[in-house]
Amino acid sequence: MGKLNLAICSSASFYTEVIAFSNELEELGINAILPKTAAKIKAEGRENDEAKTDWSKVAVGYHGKAELIREHFNEISGSDAILVTNYEKHGKPNYIGPNVLMEMAVAFYLRKPIYILNGRPDDSPLIDEILGLEPIFLNGDTKLIKF
């Protein structure tokens, strides 16, 4: 069987961790498809740069964000499954934000497996929607990814 194509879904705040983690996935024989901004940061060797954009202040405005969202939806469509990287953010463990929830919904609609790297974000206001998409929680064990 060929390599599993796994679209990575992540808060931009986690791109440093995601880039390092993508190397581990590649060693497991998994093709990690990073969000475009994370892939660019990785290709340029800027893994430790923060990926924050104030869309209200950049020339392309929110249209730029819309294009990135659309492009990642296309990557999800072409993948075998998605992997949500959910680390701690704002003091909340296993954080999954609204943008990643949108990506999860696309994968759910396309009937693609949804893997979540860490545990359940039980204190999230989005927990019912997250659980309603029937994800597979890996609790850090990437060996549970089936391909």
Domain that holds residue 82: 4-44+64-144
How would you class 57 by CB atoms within 10 Å of its CB: exposed for 0-12, middle for 13-18, buried for 19 or more?
exposed
Q: 55, 67, 60, 72: which is closest to 18 by C-alpha?
A: 72
Give domain status of residue 58, yes or no.
no
Coil, strand, or helix at residue 98?
Answer: helix
C-alpha dihedral (69, 13, 89, 115), degrees to nearest 10: 50
Tens digit of each residue's pLDDT (9 = 90 or more) over 63-77: 888 999 999 999 999
Look at residue 1 in the predicted model and tell me its pLDDT: 53
Residue type, 127: I
- CATH code of 111's domain: 3.40.50.450
The answer to whether 6 and 25 have CB atoms below 8 angstroms apart is yes
Pick from 9-13, 60-64, 130-134: least confident? 60-64
Coil, strand, or helix at residue 85?
Answer: strand
**Number of separate domains in the chain:** 1
Give domain status of residue 52, yes or no.
no
With pLDDT > 90 as the criterion, what percentage of the chain qualifies? Answer: 68
Give domain status of residue 37, yes or no.
yes
Look at residue 134 in the predicted model and tell me its pLDDT: 98
Give domain status of residue 59, yes or no.
no
Q: What is the mean pLDDT of residues 110-125?
A: 97
Q: Residue 99 above 90 pLDDT?
A: yes
Give domain status of residue 92, yes or no.
yes
